Amino acid sequence: MSATVNQSTNSTEQLSGERLVDLYRTMVLSRYLDERVWLLNRQGKAAIAASAQGHEAAQVACIEASDPSKDHYLIYYRQFTAMIALGTEPEEMLRGFLAKEADPMSAARQFPLHGAHPRVDLFNFSNVIATQLPQAAGVALADKINGSDAVTFVYFGDGASSQGDTHEAMNFAGVHKLPVIFFCENNRYAISVPQEKQMGIESLASRAAGYGFPGVQVDGTDVVAVHEATQAAVERARTGGGPTLIEASVERLLPHTTDDDHTRYRSEQDILQMSERDPITILSDLLKRRDLLTESEDAEIHTSAKNRVNVATDTVDAESYPGIESMFDDVTDGSVQGGNS
Amino acid sequence: MAEQTVIEAVRQTMFAEMRRDSSVIVLGEDVGSRGGVFLATDGLIDEFGENRVIDTPLAESSICGVAIGAAVNGLRPIAEIQFADFIWPAINQLVGEASKVRYGTNGVKTAPMTVRVPYGGGVRGGLYHSQSIEVLFAHTPGLSVVAPATPYDAKGLLASAIRTDDPVIVLEHKRTYRLVKGEVPAEDYTIPIGKAEIKRHGTDLTIFTYGLMLHYSLQATEMAAAIGIDVEVLDLRTLRPLDEESIAESASRTGKALIVQEDTPAVSISSEVAAIIGERCFFDLDGPITRLGPPEIPPMPFSPIQEAEFMPSPEKILTAIKKLAEI
């Protein structure tokens, strides 16, 4: 069974050329910062990183269709670009990766990108795959009960689609027609396990039919397509139409994390081929074809991103790590429970 | 003051809390028109409607996961797990997730949620309607676990659980639901989480216990009194955090500690209580720290004869009292 085709509603707005360039700028900044984090890992400064390289277009386009002033974002560990699209400064990102005291998400208690965002309602409690999906249904349930028109975005990869929590969450959201968007970034690999060993279907989006809401498969390297699909889903969610499952097909250009080596399980040809679907190149070409970006403007965007990342790296590298005192806080309202102290 | 059963105290407390605070909702299997399989939620849907009393699909992980999300987004959900034995699919959402919401977000997010869990045996429940599940939760920093055994405590601790800004597991012993009656004041009150209570004062030894075993222990102390042994009974009431001060104070004062529980003893609440007493009261003890519990077999056989053999009883507790008192 194939996925249903996204029906764009009339009320959605097309992305302006200017806005497309803005999104491109965010993607380029994300890419340079992402590369820097990888480097910091190799220097022994960042213990772990999961790269968003290849996922950038899907992430910026989805966030672009949301309303950060009221919407909720339950992200997973690869949402690097989404964080930047939501206004997280490079310094703030690096504080998480370098486990600095000023890490705004969890004060270095958690892995990078885990914890709660200081300004938007974005959070990521766990490294355990798919636990955020039932939680997202709960967030959306509270909005529905309270009559809010906020939308809950929950992000996950193809790996998460195999978890029982994913089924339970979609089933619950379907029953209650909750304002939640299940946004799957399908890069076809759960670490090393390819899609054909994860599921017996071609398109994850087709599963939505089993829960009574639409599923849309979209090219996740295409900013415009992802934005349109997300806008339609947002419109449905805000007006009581219930959930949507969006499957954005993307490439994972780097190994699963800094601890992985994808040459152990991906062929040379596969690795070579996927670079043709680099969303930054794709958007850069599009902008130039439409005369929205000149070569020199593009070069300037790259230079500016590189400089921004350099400044942030120098700043954060010099910052302090948390002391041991804070590790005893925030266990419960009464902090550490019991114990023999 | 009216006399109520434990189940009635639980039900009335939910009515009161839902009237007091519109952010309190109830969700779980059969909690709507059915009123819950034990009737703990009977009538709630009539007063508060389907928006606040939610019959969920049969899926425990999402019951707890949805509760976390709703709690993070401003509600105070009470999730009902139909039988404790069915909670295992939700372990990850509770032990893995709910417990770390505050800690993992540097205190920015909290999950003010309550999980009500009917547990325990002696009800011909066999292997899958009799389990005691407290240990895994009580082992987890970030969770609180309470186990009220009387109607008065059920009201006060459930109210505290609902009003606390962190996740609380409320263990309700099924056998006590209709067996145990007691006075429950109509007015609002709470019992602090983490406070044990001496349910019977005594001088010769102390029984440390909770749940149904509180009542069996109290029965045993009456039999012991008849033969001249004066036994104190400390009801732990909260299993995490344990009330270490009260445990140590009583053990030091009587000098003899008997820990009684229905759960299998290996690596359990009784292990922890014994460790606390061992660490804090060593020089005040004049007998070995003693534990009484069921045999180390899966709780608990459906056969009535084997179930009775499995469960600690007032008679078995009396035997343990006599043995320890005579040392």
Instruction: Assess whether B176 and B205 both reside in one domain.
Output: no
**What's the CA dihedral at B319, B322, B325, B327 to 10 degrees?**
-90
Residue range B7-47, pLDDT digits in tens? 999 999 999 999 999 999 999 999 999 999 999 999 999 99
3-state secondary structure (DSSP) of residue A151? coil
Separation CA B13–CA B34 (nearest Å): 18
Side chain identity at residue B100, one-letter code: K
How far is it, in rounded angstroms, from Cα A85 to Cα A248? 17
- Chain A positions touching B68 (Cβ under 8 A) are 134-135, 138
What is the residue range of B307's domain?
197-325
Looking at the fold, whether B21 and B104 belong to one and the same domain comes out as: yes
Q: How far is B299 from chain A (nearest CA, A)?
A: 27
3 state SS for B209-262: ECCHHHHHHHHHHHHHHHCCCCEEEEECCEEECCCHHHHHHHHHHHCCEEEECC
Q: Which residue ranges form the domains of chain A, and what is each CATH number?
A: 17-319 (3.40.50.970)
Interface confidence, given as ipTM, is 0.96
Same domain, B106 and B48: yes
Written as tens digits, the pLDDT of chain A (341 aa) is: 333 333 333 345 789 999 999 999 999 999 999 999 999 999 999 999 999 999 999 999 999 999 999 999 999 999 999 999 999 999 999 999 999 999 999 999 999 999 999 999 999 999 999 999 999 999 999 999 999 999 999 999 999 999 999 999 999 999 999 999 999 999 999 999 999 999 999 999 999 999 999 999 999 999 999 999 999 999 999 999 999 999 999 999 999 999 999 999 999 999 999 999 999 999 999 999 999 999 999 999 999 999 999 999 999 999 999 999 999 999 998 766 665 43
Give contacts of A174 with chain B, Cβ < 8 Å.
none
Cis preceding linkage at B294, omega within 30 = no
Tokens encoding B58: 């049969």
Q: Does residue B72 share a domain with residue B29?
A: yes
Average pLDDT over residues B279-307: 97
Boundary residue ending a domain (B120, B153, B184): B184
**A271's tokens:** 């690795």
Pair A271, A262: CB distance under 8 Å: yes
Distances (CA, A) of B263 to A210, B172, B243: 41, 14, 19
Residues B157 and B222 in one domain: no
Q: Do B294 and B227 belong to one domain?
A: yes
Closest CA to B210 of B179, B239, B243, B174: B239
Same domain for B216 and B120? no
CATH no. for residue B86?
3.40.50.970
Helix axis angle, B6-20 relative to B44-52, nearest 10°?
50
CATH label of the domain that carries residue B201: 3.40.50.920
For testing contact with chain B, the best of A71, A168, A341 (most B CBs within 10 A): A168
Of B61, B108, B110, the CB nearest to A168: B61
Indicate the residue among B184, B207, B240 that finishes a domain.
B184
* Chain A residues with CB-CB distance to B108 below 8 A: 115-116, 118
B175 and B294, same domain (yes or no): no
The angle, 0 to 180 degrees and rounded to 10, between the axes of the packed helices B244-254 and B269-281 is: 60
Report which of B294, B246, B297, B287 is spatially closest to residue B270, judged by C-alpha positions.
B294
Let me know if B173 is a catalytic residue. no
Q: Of B184, B208, B239, which residue sits at a domain end?
A: B184
| Structural domain includes residue B192 | no
Q: Does residue B189 lie within any of the structural domains? A: no
Whether residues B85 and B211 share a domain: the answer is no
pTM metric for this prediction: 0.96
Whole-number Å distance between alpha carbons of B316 and A204: 58
Q: How many domains does chain B have?
A: 2
CB atoms within 10 A of CB B80: 26
For residue B130, tell me if it sits in a domain: yes
- What are A297-305's contacts with CB under 8 Å, separation 24+? A297/A21, A301/A24, A301/A25, A301/A28, A302/A28, A302/A32, A305/A25, A305/A28, A305/A29, A305/A31, A305/A32, A305/A33
For B92, which of A128, A133, A333 is closest by C-beta distance?
A128
Judge if B175 and B219 occupy the same domain: no
